[in-house]
Structure formats: structure tokens, C-alpha cells
């Protein structure tokens, strides 16, 4: 492409970038306005930062509680996913055993079962085992949902680890479990980080599984809390926007610092699959 | 010469210890290996058991259970076999018909949803001014929850909202983006594309990283236009990536729009924005018709299977012609 042509293309791309980012800036701006300011002119920059909107959403709307619920569920789910996923990935990639290939294919097949297809029977299973509307139930549902993906990526990452490293550690007198703990976990750190961030985003952003597994109000996760804002604050847009902002800021922070790891995780499936 | 004096004095002692320790360690190692041989034969199974148990109990078993459900009745007929009654009821239900028609609409719009990020990735790969910035900005909405995206666009697209005000200043509208049955489904799909094109963009860029740059240079030396380069160099070289993006975008459209629908339209107006996943949710959660919902789930699963296989075979054939 010639130089001039590149600048010509850059103009619509800049407009698209603006269209991508403007809705977020608009929402953040509205969250800092008073109701009166919003009604008079929704586009103008807010005259002063009205943090009390955030405080209202955080305290009286219950976002604080939902935030804590989400944080706990996501942390527990991601911990379990990485633990179980890396153990399974180690076994599938570096330990020869009977049935290993069949198990890997079964795991791949499970990757292609969308939640919508199993949500009715799964909620029946959860109800029968008394796990519905409990934190362990929701955490298990998340682990089950994202485990095939986690196992798949950890397996393909561990396949790139030279066999000699595992063999050498065995000759040095490590048990299989020792090799896992002392070699595979430290060596797998980049993949664990990348997969862990993606798993965390999936769990944090989910609404369908949380709606289904956690019917009672004080068990709501943050995303379910945001959906309930809609009905309550139709006439108080700044408070509504504040609630949305609270839910979006953690993701924004993760994105700003770990954008590359997120992209690595997303593309790992496309180049290896 | 202190070094010479100390080193011989230390060395024999060290080596002696090493030999002695070595034999002991070796003996211990043999013993451990024998014991390990027995207890560790099962180690791979121990490592993989938790993952397998969870996947089987909470994904594969429910899939079988759900297919089984779909042939039983709801309410009074709970648990009794009803044959294909649920599937016949589905086909008669105007809401499910709308949901299927909307799936058709999504399939028609799929090339657009793939071409936009593909073209943008090409420009970013060609290092348009500001390409790093564009990449970061475009990718961000893809990591936001559909709930947040939906809530933001609830604001932007409301009848007295900013977009209509903006259109008003240039003498257009107002458009009832989310209240007009003919418009709402396009509004929701538009938001879905806005929210996810960055994901496909990043996948395309990963594909470009594997592209042989000398091919493009050769094409340029031969005087190929950008369009010719895209058509004859980029698309054939990236066929695998394009295939992957087609399949994942379709899966995304069929399974990750629930949040948007739930927040933006609740399936309305007049049921015009129903998709199978929303239909399943309503039948299970609101209507208490789990068996009917299971039948809809099975249909959705079959649709995804067919669409996925169809796309792969069509793209394979297109690849062969080149």
C-alpha cells in the first residue's frame, strides 16, 4: 500500500475506533453527572465529578455484596480450573497411559457442548444433589463449563515442553506428583496465567449460568446485579451508569495490564487446532 | 599457594563421600523405583480423574439426560414417554419459528461479521498509521460482558437516547431502535458485531503472523492492486484462519447473545428478537416446561453441528478451487 493510501484508510479506522470507545466514555461521563445535568444535556462533559452516584450504586443498590460474591466465585473457580486443568494436561501430554488418546478426544468433544444445550438437565442434576443456589454449586458449574477449554490449552502447552526435562526429573528421584509440582507447575506459568485470565473473564462476565444456579437475591453475582439495575433505575440514569461502571472497571484494569496474555489465550486455539 | 594446599586435602574426602553416598542413594533409588512402579502406575489416572469426573458428570451425562428429557412430557405427563410431541409443538410455536428465522438471519449476516474484522486486520497488518492503537481499542469490547455491553447500548439506543438525539441534529429519525420489531433484531445483531469483531480481529492477526511476507512483496512488485493481493495472496494463505473465524463467530452468535437479549430486549418487541437460547431459557425458567426446553436444546445442538460441518465443507471446496 502506498503511503497516501494508508492515511486514507486510517481515517475511517479512526472513526471506527471512536465509535468503539465512545459508548464507554459516554457511560463513564453520565455516571459522574447529576440527574438534572443528564436530563438537560446528556453529551456535555460533567461539570464536577459526582462520585456520590458510585457510592449510591455501591451501597444502597447492593453492588458491594454482588461484587464480593463475584470475586469469591471467580477466584475459587479459576483456582480449581487451573489446578485440575494443569494436572490433566500434564497427564495427557507427557505420561503415556492406556486410554489417554480417547480421554483427550472426549475432552475435545465436551468443548463443543454449549451450555444452552445442557442447562435444563444440569439444573435438574444440581437441584437433585442440593447444590442449587449454593456457592459450591455455582463454582462447580463454572469449573465444568470451562474445564475442557482449560485442559485443551494446558495439554497443548505441555506438549511443547521437552520430554527430556520430565525424564531427567524422574531419574533424579522425583515421583510423578513431584514432577508435576516441581517442574510442570513452574514451567507452565505463562500458560497458566493466560488461561487463568481468560477463565476469570469468562466467569466474571457470565450471566446465564449465574441466573440459573443462583436464584436468590443475596447470592447474585455482579452481572446478574447489573441486569437487575435496569428495572430499578429507569428514571435515574446516572445511578444506572454508575452500576455499569463498577462492573466494567475491573475488566478494564485487567485489559490494560494483561492485554497480550488475553490475546495469546484467544489465539492459542486457532493456531493449534 | 594456599589453593594447592587446600584442594587436595578436600578432594579425596569429597569424592569418598560421594562414592559412599552414591551407592546408598542408588540402592535407595532402586527400592523407591520398585515401590514407585506399583503405586505410580496409576498416577496418570489419579492426575486426570478429577477433571474426567467433573466433565462426565456435569457435561456429558446432562447432554444424554437432556436428549432423553426431550422425549418425555411436562407437568402431569412428567417422566412419561411422549415420542416426538415436544418437537412437533416446537415447530408449531410461532416464537420458536421466529427464533429459527433469526438463526437464518444470523447465518446470512455471518460473511459481514467475518469480513469486517478480516479487512481491518489486513490494514493493521499493513501498518496503517496508528495500527497498534487501533488494535488495542478494537479488541477491548470483546472482553466486556454482554450484560455490560447491553446495558450501555440500552442507554445509547433508547428512544429518547443519545443516538436519536444525534440523528435529530442532522435531521434524521427518531428510530425506535429497540421497540420496533423490524428494527430491533438488526440493532441487537449490530451490537453483537460491535462487541465481538475485536475477538475475530485478534485471531486474524495471529494468522497474519504466520503469513509469508515475501509473497505479498512479490505480488506488489508484479504490480498487483490491494484487492488483487487480498484475493490471490491473503485469502488463500489464511484459509485455515478464516475457517476458524467462521466457525467460532457462528458459535458465538448462537450461544453468547443471551446476555444481550436479556438486557436489551427480553426477546421483544413482539418476540421478534428470540433466539433458540433465549427460548430455552424462557421455557425452562419462566414457563416451567423443561421437557420442551430440552427439545429446543437438542434442536440447537443439531443446528450447530450442521452449520459447523457445512461451513467446513463449503470452505474446503472454495479453498480447492483456488
Residue in this structure with the C-alpha cell 459508548, named with its chain if needed: A23
Task: Compute the mean pLDDT over every residue in chain A, rounded to the nearest whole number.
Answer: 87
Nearest CA in chain B to A15: B134
Q: What is the pLDDT of residue B1?
A: 37
φ and ψ of A197, to 5 deg: -65, -45
What value of ipTM does the predicted structure carry?
0.89
Q: pLDDT 10s per residue in chain A (273 long)?
A: 667 888 888 888 999 999 888 889 988 888 888 878 887 777 777 777 878 888 888 887 788 899 999 999 999 999 999 999 999 999 999 888 888 888 988 888 888 888 988 999 999 899 999 999 999 999 999 999 999 999 999 998 999 888 888 889 888 888 889 999 998 999 999 999 999 999 999 999 999 999 999 988 888 999 998 888 877 766 788 888 888 898 999 999 999 998 888 888 888 766 544
Asked if B152 and A244 come within 8 Å (Cβ–Cβ), the reply is: yes
Which chain A residues contact residue B137 at CB under 8 A? 17, 20-21
The residues with which B78 forms a beta bridge, in sequence order, are B73
Q: For A82-138, what is each residue's pLDDT tens digit?
A: 999 999 999 999 888 888 888 988 888 888 888 988 999 999 899 999 999 999 999
Secondary structure of chain B in the HEC alphabet? CHHHHHHHHHHHHHHHHHHHHHHHHHHHHHHHHHHHHHHCCCHHHHHHHHHHHHHHHHHHHHHHHHHHHCCEECHHHECCECCCHHHHHHHHCHHHHHHHHHHHHHHHHHHHHHHHHHHHHHHHHCCCCCHHHHHHHHHHHHHCCHHHHHHHHHHHHCCCCHHHHHHHHCCCCCCCCCCCHHHHHHHHHHHHHHHHHHHHHHHHHHHHHCCCHHHHHHHHHCCCCHHHHHHHHHHHHCHHHHHHHHHHHHHHHHHCCHHHHHHHCCCCCCCCCCCHHHHHHHHHHHCCCHHHHHHHHHHHHHHHHHHHHHHHHHHHHHHHHC
Q: What per-residue confidence (pLDDT) applies to A131?
A: 93
Pick the CATH number of A62-232 from 1.10.3720.10, 3.40.50.2300, 3.40.710.10, 3.30.428.10: 1.10.3720.10
Asked if A204's CB is within 8 angstroms of B156's CB, the reply is no
B173, three cell numbers: 429519525
| Rounded CA separation B295/B105 (Å) | 22
- B139 shares contact with chain A (CB less than 8 Å): yes
Q: What are the structural domain ranges in chain A?
A: 3-52, 62-232
CA–CA separation, B150 and B30 (whole Å): 64
CATH number for the segment(s) B85-321: 1.10.3720.10
Q: Report the alpha-carbon distance of residue A219 to residue B135 in Å, rounded.
A: 37
pLDDT digits (tens, 9 = 90+) for B197-218: 998 999 999 888 888 888 888 8
Report the residue of chain B nearest A266, measured CA to CA.
B203
C-beta atoms of A205 and B120 within 8 A: no
Local confidence band at B33 (pLDDT 50, 70, 90 cut-offs) = low
Which residues make beta-bridge pairs with B81?
A: B72
Nearest C-alpha neighbor of A247 from the set A228, A226, A218, A220 = A226
- Using an 8 Å Cβ cutoff, are B192 and B253 in contact? yes
Mean pLDDT over each residue of chain B, to the nearest integer: 81
Across the interface, which of B57, B127, B143 has its CB nearest the CB of A255?
A: B143
14-73 in chain B: CB under 8 A from chain A: 29, 32, 36, 40, 43-45, 47-48, 50-52, 54-55, 57-63, 65-66, 69
If DSSP states are collapsed to H, E and C, what string results for chain A? CCHHHHHHHHHHHHHHHHHHHHHHHHHHHHHCCCHHHHHHCCCCCCCCCCCHHHHHHHHCCCHHHHHHHHHHHHHHHHHHHHHHHHHHHHHHHHCCCCCHHHHHHHHHHHHCCCHHHHHHHHHHHHHHCCCCCCHHHHHHHHHHHHHHHHHHHHHHHHCCCCHHHHHHHHHCCCCHHHHHHHHHHHHCHHHHHHHHHHHHHHHHHCCHHHHHHCCCHHHCCHHHHHHHHHHHCCCCHHHHHHHHHHHHHHHHHHHHHHHHHHHHHHHHHHHHC
Which of B34, B72, B147 would best serve as a mutation to test chain A binding (most A beta carbons within 10 A)? B147
In total, the C-beta contacts within 8 angstroms joining chain A to chain B are: 269
Amino acid at each position: 500500500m502506498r503511503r497516501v493510501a494508508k492515511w486514507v484508510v486510517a481515517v475511517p479506522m479512526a472513526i471506527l475506533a471512536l465509535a468503539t470507545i465512545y459508548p464507554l466514555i459516554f457511560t463513564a461521563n453520565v455516571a459522574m453527572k447529576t440527574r438534572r445535568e443528564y436530563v438537560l444535556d446528556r453529551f456535555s462533559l460533567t461539570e464536577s465529578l459526582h462520585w456520590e452516584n458510585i457510592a449510591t450504586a455501591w451501597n444502597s443498590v447492593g453492588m458491594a455484596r454482588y461484587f464480593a460474591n463475584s470475586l469469591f466465585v471467580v477466584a475459587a473457580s479459576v483456582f480449581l480450573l487451573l489446578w485440575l486443568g494443569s494436572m490433566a494436561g500434564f497427564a495427557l501430554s507427557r505420561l503415556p497411559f492406556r486410554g489417554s488418546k480417547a480421554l483427550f478426544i472426549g475432552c475435545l468433544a465436551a468443548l463443543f457442548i454449549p451450555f444452552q444445550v445442557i442447562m435444563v438437565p444440569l439444573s435438574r442434576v444440581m437441584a437433585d444433589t442440593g447444590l442449587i443456589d449454593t456457592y459450591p454449586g455455582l463454582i462447580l458449574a463454572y469449573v465444568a463449563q470451562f474445564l475442557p477449554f482449560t485442559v485443551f490449552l494446558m495439554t497443548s502447552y505441555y506438549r511443547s515442553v521437552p520430554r527430556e526435562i520430565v525424564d531427567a526429573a524422574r531419574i533424579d528421584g522425583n515421583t510423578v506428583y513431584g514432577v508435576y509440582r516441581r517442574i510442570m507447575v513452574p514451567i507452565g506459568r505463562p500458560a497458566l496465567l493466560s488461561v487463568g485470565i481468560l477463565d476469570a473473564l469468562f466467569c466474571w462476565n457470565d450471566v446465564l449460568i449465574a441466573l440459573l444456579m443462583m436464584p436468590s437475591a443475596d447470592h447474585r453475582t455482579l452481572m446478574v446485579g447489573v441486569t437487575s439495575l435496569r428495572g430499578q433505575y429507569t428514571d435515574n440514569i446516572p445511578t444506572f451508569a454508575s452500576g455499569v461502571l463498577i462492573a466494567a472497571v475491573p475488566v478494564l484494569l485487567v485489559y490494560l495490564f494483561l492485554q497480550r496474555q488475553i490475546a495469546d489465550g484467544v489465539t492459542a486455539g486457532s493456531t493449534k487446532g | 599457594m594456599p589453593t594447592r594446599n587446600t584442594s587436595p586435602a578436600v578432594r579425596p574426602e569429597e569424592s569418598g563421600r560421594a562414592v559412599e553416598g552414591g551407592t546408598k542413594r542408588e540402592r535407595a533409588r532402586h527400592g523407591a523405583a520398585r515401590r514407585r512402579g506399583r503405586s505410580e502406575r496409576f498416577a496418570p489416572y489419579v492426575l486426570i480423574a478429577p477433571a474426567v469426573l467433573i466433565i462426565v458428570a456435569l457435561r456429558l451425562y446432562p447432554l444424554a439426560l437432556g436428549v432423553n428429557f426431550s422425549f418425555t412430557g411436562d407437568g402431569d405427563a412428567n417422566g412419561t414417554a411422549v415420542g416426538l410431541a415436544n418437537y412437533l409443538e416446537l415447530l408449531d410455536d410461532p416464537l420458536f419459528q421466529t427464533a429459527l428465522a433469526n438463526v437464518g438471519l444470523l447465518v446470512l449476516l455471518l460473511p459481514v461479521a467475518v469480513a469486517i474484522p478480516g479487512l481491518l486486520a489486513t490494514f493493521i497488518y499493513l501498518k496503517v498509521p496508528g495500527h497498534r492503537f487501533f488494535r488495542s481499542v478494537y479488541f477491548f469490547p470483546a472482553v466486556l460482558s454482554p450484560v455490560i455491553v447491553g446495558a450501555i447500548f440500552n442507554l445509547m439506543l433508547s428512544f429518547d437516547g443519545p443516538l436519536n438525539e444525534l440523528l435529530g441534529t442532522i435531521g434524521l429519525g427518531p428510530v425506535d431502535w429497540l421497540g420496533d420489531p423490524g428494527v430491533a433484531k438488526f440493532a441487537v445483531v449490530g451490537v453483537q458485531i460491535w462487541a465481538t469483531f475485536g475477538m475475530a480481529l485478534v485471531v486474524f492477526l495471529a494468522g497474519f503472523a504466520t503469513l509469508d511476507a515475501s509473497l505479498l512483496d512479490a505480488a506488489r512488485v508484479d504490480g498487483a492492486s490491494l484487492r488483487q493481493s487480498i484475493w490471490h495472496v491473503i485469502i488463500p494463505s489464511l484459509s485455515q484462519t478464516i475457517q476458524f473465524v467462521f466457525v467460532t463467530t457462528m458459535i458465538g452468535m448462537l450461544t453468547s447473545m443471551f446476555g444481550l437479549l436479556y438486557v436489551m430486549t427480553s426477546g421483544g418487541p413482539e418476540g421478534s428478537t428470540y433466539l433458540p437460547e433465549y427460548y430455552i431459557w424462557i421455557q425452562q425458567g419462566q414457563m416451567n416446561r423443561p421437557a420442551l426446553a430440552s427439545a429446543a436444546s437438542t434442536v440447537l445442538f443439531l443446528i450447530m453441528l450442521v452449520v459447523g460441518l457445512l461451513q467446513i465443507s463449503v470452505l474446503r471446496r472454495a479453498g480447492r478451487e483456488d
